[in-house]
Amino acid sequence: MREPGVTLVALPEPSGRTAWTFRHGGRSYAVFAVDGQLRVTDAACPHNGGPLAAGIVRDGAVTCPWHRFTFDLESGRCRNAASARFELRLYPVVRRDGKAFAELPAAMGLRRWSRFLRRPPALAGVARRRRGVPP
């Protein structure tokens, strides 16, 4: 049973590729084909946002092309001792009827600046009451 807020998303599987990206719910994800298994993670490196799908995959790990941090695609842990605090977020992959699906966070609504601008500041009401102006 899936957690609430998790969506099952069909994974694109371009033939002949071992790493690729796709977008879902306003976010980008990277997919790696490793030893016949698909690993799904955020497309941006947890260190500084490098394009992980453009990295080198070797021994079950991907090396980010920007600063060469290496992340294990099984555990998400960074293999560079000095950078152990960075960790890849991995998303489970399930197969149904021969197709691969990733369990991804449900799409979040887009934030629009106009919503924030229209909302009166939280303290505006307090200031008005202090001046004796009715709400």
Residues of this chain that interact with ligand FES (CB under 6 A) are 45, 47-50, 64, 66-67, 69
Instruction: Tell me how far, at minimum, the Cβ of 78 lies from ligand FES, in Å.
Output: 9
CA 120 to chain centre: 32
In the complex, the smallest distance separating the C-beta of residue 79 from ligand FES, rounded to whole angstroms, is 12
Q: Is the dihedral of CA 48, 65, 71, 89 positive or negative?
A: positive
Minimum distance of ligand FES from residue 98's CB (angstroms): 34
Residue number, 48 or 75, with CB nearest to ligand FES: 48
Q: Which is nearer to ligand FES, 32 or 101 (CB)?
A: 32
If the CB atoms of residues 31 and 43 are measured against ligand FES, the closer one turns out to be 43
Q: How far is the CB of 28 from ligand FES (least distance, A)?
A: 14
- Measured from the CB atom, the residue of 24 and 79 that comes closer to ligand FES is 79
Backbone angles phi, psi at 109, to 5 degrees: -65, 150
Q: Which is nearer to ligand FES, 9 or 45 (CB)?
A: 45
| Residue 35 backbone phi and psi in degrees, to 5 | 50, 45
**Cβ 101 vs Cβ 8: under 8 Å:** yes
Shortest distance in whole angstroms from residue 75 CB to ligand FES: 17
Specify burial of residue 45 (Cβ count, 10 A radius: 0-12, 13-18, 19+).
buried
Q: Where are the alpha helices (DSSP H) in 1-135?
A: 113-118, 124-130
